[in-house]
Structure 1
Amino acid sequence: MLHTSAPSEKAIHAVQPFTSTVPREYVHRAAIAEVFLTTGWTRADEAHFTIGAQWPRAHSFLGPVGGTHYDPMMVAETIRQVGALLAHVGFDVPLGHQFLMWELNYRVVPGLLAVGGAPAELRLHVTCTDIRRRAGRLAGLSYEVVVTENGRTVAVGDARYTCTSPEVYRRLRADRLADPFPAPGPLPAPVAPAVVGRWNPSDVVLSPAAPGVAGGARWQLRVNTDHPVLFDHPGDHIPGMVLLEAARQAARSRVPQGREMLPAAMDSTFHRYAEFGSPVWIEIDQAVDYPGTSESLLSVTGRQDDELVFTAITTVTALPTRTP
């Protein structure tokens, strides 16, 4: 996981005001309300960008934790959107190309996530660390992001993905593209929403299952393709952000009832597509506490048809006390 300082404001070009969101198709979203990146981005050189972002004070799914602090999963989604935007406006990848995220990591400063009297206006300082091309076209990208608000670093993260043309993707996924977005069917019952930090049962992505590994727990992933945020638009596989939400909810289930927690850090690796039509099993290991802190480390994995789909090493910490 990177630990990077934001570059000096004097070291980058002047940034235009961030007054509107970028086009939704540039971040692979259908709903404008789900676009966090704003216009006015600048490029210092091939590998360094500054991008604006805004986090709403309220969100239909990623609402404030405990009513007081921004949900760190907003950081994860912001970092994901950065990768898509860079591809299209920074490296001339045409719309319609397909992206496969291999890694997505973040760490927040919990004390700087308090929701204020206006939406958080952010600057994202992006460094591309591995630009891969094939036949002159971008084939993959690794990048690091430093998220700042009013000059203070509130989060850092990094990600790695590959991208392919529609023609290549059709050859690779021909058997899955015939019926890319299955009609919602009967869903398994959710766990109690409060156990995973949710109020609405439709927002729960875990269903009770038989006991898993010793000292841990096991659930079936609830794939509700009617969910307006997790399944913002049709696709031929389960989105990575659904898997990260499963990891967050699994981690939250390990926190005693009545205590709020933040998923302060997550290091996630995606090994293969999570497919529709076959159960995905979510397992979590017993928490490891950091002595002298309120932090605990948990390892969450997802498996499908006996194959590892993703791993998310998650750090949870107590919700900071909000100061006046």
Structure 2
Amino acid sequence: MSASIAPSISALVSGAPTLAPMVVASPPAAPPRFTPAAPAAPGFVHHLVHRPNTPEGVVLGTAAPVTQEFAVSAVLPERHPLFNDGADAFHDLHSPAEALRRTALFVAHRYFRVPQERPAVFASTEVELTELEPWRRAAGPAHLTMDITLRPADVVNGVPRGLECESALSFEGVRCGTARARLVFLMPKVYQNHRERGRAASRSRPVEVEGAEPWPLRPEPKAVGRTDPRNLVLGTPAQNPAGELLVQVLADPANAVFAEAAGDHVPAVVLVEASRQTAFLLAGELHGFTVAGCVLSRWSARFQGFAEPDLPLWCRALAGPLGRAADGRPALPVTLVFFQGSRQVGSVETTVLQDC
């Protein structure tokens, strides 16, 4: 959320950036097309608007390597094969995380002139609900808007080697969440060395799986908040002596969403989905939550590397003390760690909220 949510999440259909009704901005003379960085998924359309802060930005559609503001207007899909699969009670955190990822990548290359050959790493990403009700699904298409601030970091010769991203989220005009991300652009040689070291460490057998007691069966899709078996990304769970839930990440290669996002590392959409499914499984099977009424109210990820697609990828999860949200709903904090061999790929702190 692969380091990408950290380096990648996937799947939007783009539209040419136009002036959305909820913002006021001066578009550049020749608006650039907001082209998705990966193959598109059905029905997901969004538009980008730059709010330039210099005359050059207004006329040329470029940006100086200083803090810049943008707005995104997105119509979420009603029949997406992954995002709309499940109890259909709430919008997934996938959507704003994906919109922020794609916006940051597009802005980095189009406005801040970051060379395309520099691999992008989303070192951290966080999405949090501040109001639950606007996230509840209703009949018809949903309209997501994001006011995004991008701050260049480590600027060398006018080109940033990183971006700090912050965004306020609204559904149907109601402010209801925040999103943040830290993006790093690696020099090609640094990226290559990083991948080689990570791959070597990923080949060893992880000590965390030693002595773990496997469950009898692989979970049913409904136990992880989905209905389509092709969207299940978890193998047979197990519990280790430390009381942690262990599961191997096994995405169906025939799944169009996962296949379209595939590259030379495990795509972030798989990591996001694996963390979601593992957290729901833990809350439902071990803490009595009704998964059909669950929603992630916070998802905060930190990634140290890329997950290799041809080597076993594991996730371990441990729940914290059961608490209550501000409105009294049960809230279960869950810590998840993705690892391959002796190497930690990333960690996720999330909260499962029970709608009741």
Contact 1:219 1:282 in 2 (8 A): yes
Match of 1:222 among 250, 271, 274: 250
Aligned residue in 2 for 1:204? 232
Structure 1 residues 319 and 230, CA gap change in structure 2 (3 angstroms): farther
- Range with bigger deviation, 53-62 or 84-93: 84-93
Contact 1:48 1:125 in 2 (8 A): yes
Displacement of 1:282 after TM fit? Answer: 0.8
Gaps of 5+ in 2: 1-19, 54-66, 200-216
Aligned ranges for residues 157-176 of structure 1 at < 5 Å? 157-164=179-186, 169=191, 173=195
Mapped pair 1:145 → 2:167: yes
Structure 1 residues 213 and 123, CA gap change in structure 2 (3 angstroms): farther
2-structure distance, mates of 1:85, 1:217: 37
Contact 2:198 2:305 in 1 (8 A): no
Determine helix, strand or coil for the equivalent of 1:83: helix
Displacement of 1:147 after TM fit? Answer: 1.3
Aligned residue in 2 for 1:232? 260
Displacement of 1:102 after TM fit? Answer: 0.5
Displacement of 1:141 after TM fit? Answer: 0.7
Determine helix, strand or coil for the equivalent of 1:59: coil
Aligned residue in 2 for 1:131? 153
Aligned ranges for residues 1-324 of structure 1 at < 5 Å? 13-14=24-25, 23-25=34-36, 28-31=37-40, 33=42, 36-39=45-48, 41-45=49-53, 46-63=67-84, 66-108=87-129, 109-164=131-186, 169=191, 173=195, 190-212=218-240, 214-253=242-281, 254-255=283-284, 256-257=289-290, 259-291=292-324, 292-319=328-355
- Range with bigger deviation, 238-247 or 285-294: 285-294
Aligned residue in 2 for 1:185? none
Tell me the C-alpha RMSD between the 2 structures: 3.0
Determine helix, strand or coil for the equivalent of 2:271: helix
Gaps of 5+ in 1: 1-8, 178-188
Aligned residue in 2 for 1:184? none
Determine helix, strand or coil for the equivalent of 1:251: helix
Structure 1 residues 283 and 233, CA gap change in structure 2 (3 angstroms): closer
Displacement of 1:140 after TM fit? Answer: 0.9
Taking only the aligned residue pairs, the percentage that are identical comes to 22
Residue 42 of structure 2 aligns with an amino acid whose one-letter code is A
- Per the normalisation by structure 1, the TM-score is 0.79
2-structure distance, mates of 1:124, 1:135: 30
- Per the normalisation by structure 2, the TM-score is 0.73
Aligned residue in 2 for 1:3? none
